[in-house]
Amino acid sequence: MAALLALAVPLPAAAELGVSFYGLAYHLDRSRARDMGLDNEFIAGLGLRYRVPQSERLQWTFEAAAYHDSGRNTALVAGAGALWKVSPGWRLGGALVGFKSDTYNRGDPFIAPLPIAAYEFGSLTLNLTFIPKMSKVNDVTTIAAWLTWWL
């Protein structure tokens, strides 16, 4: 449904729509993750990403996705952020993201800031984020990666 809505809304001339393919998760405390049943490292899922250039160095991003999280539950995420071009190919920034999954925050939805590093090569972007351990929200510090293919 979200994909049809996104395709039906006209994009500004410079804006782009992409499909995100989730991904991988690396848990820094692997034994704790295994003991807690949070050791799923192939977090398969799909999302839609929309980016709008603000300037040569700044772009706004909006993304909504569903993926199979570290606890093997379906996670729904949606967020908005900004990425700054720091060198050819590399962008750094962050997003404010809403999460809903039985794995995080005892199943209650929540919003959290996430740092993002992205490397752009052609029509693909490799996205990386650091998800810290936060009491009662996320039990294991994780580095996650996913790809976005720009249509």
Per-residue pLDDT band at 4 (split at 50, 70, 90): very low
Q: Is 91 exposed, middle or buried (0-12, 13-18, 19+ CB in 10 A)?
A: buried
Q: Does domain 2-8+15-150 have CATH number 3.90.850.10?
A: no
| Each residue's pLDDT tens digit, 49-98 | 999 999 999 999 999 999 999 999 999 999 999 999 999 999 999 999 99
pLDDT at 136: 79
Q: Which of 84, 47, 46 is nearest to 62 (CA)?
A: 47
Give domain limits for the chain: 2-8+15-150
| Each residue's pLDDT tens digit, 22-53 | 999 999 999 999 999 999 999 999 999 999 99
pLDDT at 1: 46
- This prediction has a pTM of 0.87
